[in-house]
Chain A
């Protein structure tokens, strides 16, 4: 049975059926197809949630391997991760309002997440310093546009000169809008082409090239 399910034709059949049903439902008002699509979408939501369990298994397998092999610079963090995971899982299943659980999310997870997000600012700063060099006319136009938008966003731009927000607004709402629409447009067409290739079975990468 598993050999039949793993065959390429079965994979393509399921992909084509699900994809075709969704496309049909999007364009045509046929209640039976709409109901079937609703059911399939609910299955997709359930599968997404179940997949979290797969992820947990992967993480546990990986980190227990590190602990077993005492991987240098890694194993102690794996102990910490798995230990914390077990503690929070047990407490969470028992009582999510318990102080340790609540505190971990409110004061540890939130702070760490915000910290990593804040890293972006620093890294953008160093990337801008390194990459924004006026090597050509196009690069110069890019830098000037970027500077105008920075001065439009920050109140200090208006404090320096009242024209900066006006110019920055023009760049944001007119100058770059055409390019932005083009990129959206082009990416969307490319995405649809990829979808059609997948439905027609021409896209082999995503299922591992199973024969």
Chain B
């Protein structure tokens, strides 16, 4: 799709007899224009022409709509008409779990999962959401003087986690209680799993929270937590681990609940309004799905063509 006209160059053959030209080939000068498998026309004498890459037009429209929904939800929240969101049981259970840890005098264990040991992946947002939840957990732990242990194998999240914990203790007026050694790093997945198992066996935390980009460690850590009788709160958007989280944890957050959770704990209507915007988007996409299925079965492929735009 072009938003402006562009000239193009192409080789052509001119047949003297029929006085007709036929295009022989396109000349593509810069292959960085080629993002999709539909051919592009080389731009000549163009100035700041914006071209939406073929196949991504519909996604762009949906993204713009999401921003619009966000704006509407924010405005509603500012006027005091914030959309209501349902309770996330697992997040409500965190307060109770930390209370239990306080009574028993045992630490709280928190981990964000393997997440490919980097923030630069699709697991990255899950880790960031996990760190958002960690800030709430850390605040509670600071308030009730409960030790917190954070195991990780994601090196690039270490500065974020350190700052989160430090800020939590600072905000609770106990900056001296922050212990940098509560953050434990191990490279790679297997050493990380070994370290978490060791932590659970030796230090026997009262609460084990596994929230983030979990992989096979979810079932191992979950069962190990069960063996020591810890209250377990788990959450991940990784579909392949959801059954294990649900089977091993007392409270589970699945799918987008972990992304909503960090907004949920703030209880700030401006922040939680974003969750409603996401729900409105889902509603729209569900409507399109149903409409598309009905139209496709009726032999009208309008929606499916729209998706390829």
Interface of B is mostly: helix
Say yes or no for A204: interface residue by CB 8 A criterion.
yes
Where the two chains meet, the residues of B that have a C-beta atom closer than 8 Å to any C-beta of A are 30, 32-33, 35, 40, 48, 50-53, 56, 59-60, 63, 66-67, 70, 118-120, 122, 125, 128-129, 131-136, 155-156, 158-160, 163-164, 166-168, 171, 180-181, 183-190, 193-194, 202, 216, 219-220, 222-224, 226, 237, 239, 242, 244, 246-248, 254-260, 262-263, 266, 270-271, 274-275, 277-278, 281-282, 285
From A96-104, A154-162, A163-171, A191-199, the one touching the partner chain is: A191-199
Q: Across the interface, do A189 and B256 meet the contact criterion of CB distance under 8 Å?
A: yes
Q: With A and B bound together, what is the CA distance between A73 and B198 in angstroms?
A: 10
A58-B158 contact given A187-B255, A197-B263, A205-B164, CB 8 Å threshold = yes
Identify which of B122, B242, B255, B262 contacts A205 (C-beta below 8 A): B262
A95 sits at the interface (CB 8 A): no
A209 touches B120 (CB 8 A): no
Within 8 A of B (CB), among A39-84: 44-45, 47-48, 51-55, 58-59, 61-62, 65, 73-74
Most buried by A among B53, B136, B259, B282: B259
Sort A-B residue pairs by CB-CB distance and give the 5 closest, nearest first.
A190-B256, A205-B132, A193-B278, A208-B163, A55-B155
Contacts of A130 in B (CB 8 A): 226, 247
CB pair B285–A198 under 8 Å, yes or no, is no
Taking a contact as CB atoms under 8 Å apart, the answer to whether A131 and B70 are in contact is no
CB-based contact B52/A193 at 8 Å: no
A62 vs B263: C-alpha distance when bound (angstroms): 32
Alpha-carbon separation in the docked complex, A196 to B70 (Å): 9
- Contacts of A131 on B, CB cut-off 8 Å? 246-248
Q: Is the CB of B186 within 8 A of A116?
A: no
B75 CB to nearest chain A CB (Å): 13
Q: Which of A44, A123, A180, A208 contacts B160 (CB 8 A)?
A: A208
Query: When A55-B158, A187-B255 are in contact, do A120 and B216 touch as well, CB less than 8 Å?
Result: yes
Q: Nearest chain B CB to A199's CB is how many angstroms away?
A: 9
CA–CA, A128 and B219, complex, Å = 10
- The contact sample of 13 A-B pairs, CB cut-off 8 A, is A26-B53, A27-B60, A27-B63, A28-B52, A65-B181, A183-B254, A186-B282, A192-B281, A194-B259, A198-B125, A202-B271, A203-B263, A206-B164
Contacts of B270 in A (CB 8 A): 202
Chain A residue at minimum C-beta to C-beta distance from B221 = A123
Query: Contact at A58–B223, with CB atoms within 8 Å?
Result: no
Complex: chain B residue closest to A26, CB-CB: B56
Q: Which chain B residues lie closer than 8 Å to A207 at the CB level?
A: 160, 163
- Do residues B248 and A127 form an inter-chain contact, with CB atoms below 8 A? yes
Cβ-closest chain A residue relative to B40: A29
> Contact flags (1/0) for A168-188 with B, using CB distance below 8 Å?
000000000000100111110
User: Are A30 and B242 touching (Cβ within 8 A)?
Assistant: no
Q: Tell me if B125 and A191 are in contact (CB < 8 A).
A: yes
| Inter-chain contact total with CB atoms closer than 8 Å | 210
**Interface residues as binary, A110-127 with B (CB distance below 8 Å gives 1, 0 otherwise):** 001100110110011011
Closest to A74 in B: B202
Using Cβ atoms and an 8 Å threshold, which residues of chain A touch B171?
209
Complex CA gap A28/B40 in Å reads 13
- Say yes or no: A23 contacts B35, CB within 8 Å: no
Contacts of B155 in A (CB 8 A): 48, 51-55
The reply to whether A189 and B281 contact each other, CB–CB distance below 8 Å, is: yes
| A134 interface contact, C-beta 8 A | no
Nearest CB of B to A140, in Å? 15
- Judged by a CB distance under 8 angstroms, whether A210 is at the interface is yes
Bound-state CA distance A186–B260 (Å) is 12
Within the complex, what minimum Cβ distance (angstroms) separates A160 from chain B?
Answer: 24
Given A51-B156, A117-B190, A204-B266 contact (CB < 8 Å): yes
Given contacts A116-B194, A208-B163, contact A193 B256 (CB under 8 A): yes
What B residues does A58 contact at CB under 8 A? Answer: 158, 183-185
Chain A residues lying within 8 Å of B30, measured Cβ to Cβ, are 31
Q: Which of A28, A62, A193, A202 contacts B259 (CB 8 A)?
A: A193
**Beyond A186-B255, A198-B128, 19 additional pairs, beta carbon < 8 A:** A29-B52, A51-B155, A55-B158, A59-B187, A62-B181, A113-B190, A127-B222, A130-B226, A131-B246, A183-B254, A184-B239, A189-B285, A205-B134, A205-B135, A207-B160, A208-B166, A209-B135, A209-B164, A209-B171
- Determine which of A29, A30, A47, A191 lies in contact with B156 in the assembled complex, contact meaning CB atoms within 8 Å: A47
A34 within 8 A of B: yes
**Bound Cα distance A73, B194 (Å):** 15
Is residue A200 within 8 Å, beta carbon to beta carbon, of the partner chain?
yes
Closest Cβ neighbor of A211 among chain B residues: B167
Q: Could you tell me if A29 and B220 are in contact, using CB atoms closer than 8 angstroms?
A: no
